[in-house]
Structure 1
Amino acid sequence: MISVFEATIRGPKNEMLSREITRHPGAVCIVPLDGSTVTMIRQYRCAADQYLLEIPAGKRDIDGETPEETAKRELIEEVGLSAGKIHLLGEYYNSPGFCDEYSYCYLATDCVPVPDSRQGTEEEYMEIVHINLDDVPQMITEKRIVDAKSIVGLMLAKEHVR
């Protein structure tokens, strides 16, 4: 899944520097949009020790699966929706100061429910929440959305549908 190693690099003054690097398989995130309604999830995040409101997302941990295929699979697994249309909104490094995780962010529209698709242990504890895309900037300002991938994805989606 992930690995951590120590890298030695040459600094700007030719000095040797040590850096811890985390290798990550990459990830996807998806903004499921129906009109102006976004389907999100609220789930407990142990590292943050709180429940966070997030867009569906997941690791690219299946060999040979394209980012788009991963996005479609995660959308079904996490919120029980199948995307009729999927559009790449953007790509980015999540935290390049220590990690090589690279993410692909998608907009999913014309979604249809997939019955009995939320079967996993994690999904059992995820609450599905619907928000209005127009409320996103205020929700970010009020710290109701503090997850970086969600902020990036929602703002990219908001710009895309303008």
Structure 2
Amino acid sequence: MSDHGFRHVGDRPVHQGYVWHVVVAEFEAPDGSTFERDIVRSPGAVGVVPIIFDPEGQPSVVLVRQYRPPYERAIIEIPAGMRDVEGEPAEETGRRELIEEAGLRATEMVHLIDMYPSPGMTDSVCAIYMATGCEPVAHDRHGPEEESMELLHVPLDDALAMIDRGEIADAKSVCGLLTAHRRLTAQG
């Protein structure tokens, strides 16, 4: 038996995609009854909060505004990507995605939090890092959404206000920005 007496019995594949796999998973409840749930199996993702300090030591963040087909509009997010390279450590995925999307190389990456983006439907975990010591490099964007994305350099306090106004609603970005701010405030 696993957590709270529930037991995973097995998965029946429904769809095998390039990154995601959809299954119907069967579980046994503590009372012995069984039930099924549709689950998206995912290798997970990594998000990065790139922090750049001005000469006075005030932090700003680099965000991306990227068209997201499921919402049919551009979304403001932290740079991020899927853990689609088998065996690649999460930090390395974050470093790669930071270069690909934002054209930044970080000298330091600090793990902030692991976030469950949608626990009712997927087993995905998004590891979120804070990147500092960021230096510009050539980006390596993939696909039409990334090729059309816009970079935003925003003071961290303004990014937090954007969360309050609903302009940043992406879960990984909200978690990353709030956690990075807490970390920086605790250090200051």
TM interval, short-chain normalised: over 0.9
Q: How far 1:119 moved relative to its partner?
A: 4.1
Check if 1:156 corresponds to 2:179: yes
Matched with 2:140 is 118
- In structure 1, the residue matched to 2:28 is 10
Q: Distance in 2 between matches of 1:119 and 1:15?
A: 48
TM-score by length of 1: 0.94
For 1:31, the equivalent position in structure 2 comes to 49
2:138 maps to 1:128: no
Gapped regions of structure 1 (runs ≥ 5):
none
Matched residues in 2 for 1:61 and 1:19: separation? 24
**Contact 2:160/2:177, CA 8 A, preserved across alignment:** no
For residues 47 and 153 of structure 2, the distance between their equivalents in structure 1, rounded to whole angstroms, comes to 16
Rg comparison, structure with higher value: 2
Question: In structure 2, what is the equivalent of residue 43 of structure 1?
Answer: 66
Provide closer, same or farther for how the CA distance between residues 67 and 112 of structure 1 changes in structure 2, counting only shifts above 3 A. same
Q: Deviations over 1:83-111 (max 9, x none)?
A: 01111111122111110001110000011
Q: Which residue of 2 aligns with 1:59?
A: 82
Q: Does 1:88 align with 2:111?
A: yes
1:67-86 alignment to 2 at 5 Å?
67-86=90-109
CA distance, structure 1, for counterparts of residue 71 and residue 159 of structure 2: 21
Does 77-86 or 10-19 show the bigger shift? 10-19
Deviation at 1:12, TM superposition (A): 4.4
Number of equivalences = 161
Structure with more contact order per residue of length (Cα contacts < 8 Å, sep ≥ 6)? 1
Q: Give CA-to-partner distance per residue, 1:118-162, whole Å, 9 cap, x none.
A: 343343111001111112332112111010100000001000000
* CA distance in 2 between partners of 1:105 and 1:111 (Å): 16
Q: TM-score scaled by structure 2?
A: 0.82
Identity of aligned residues (%): 43
Quick one: distance in 1 between partners of 2:141 and 2:166? 30
2:123 partner SS: coil
1:20 corresponds in structure 2 to 38
**Aligned letter for 2:25?**
A
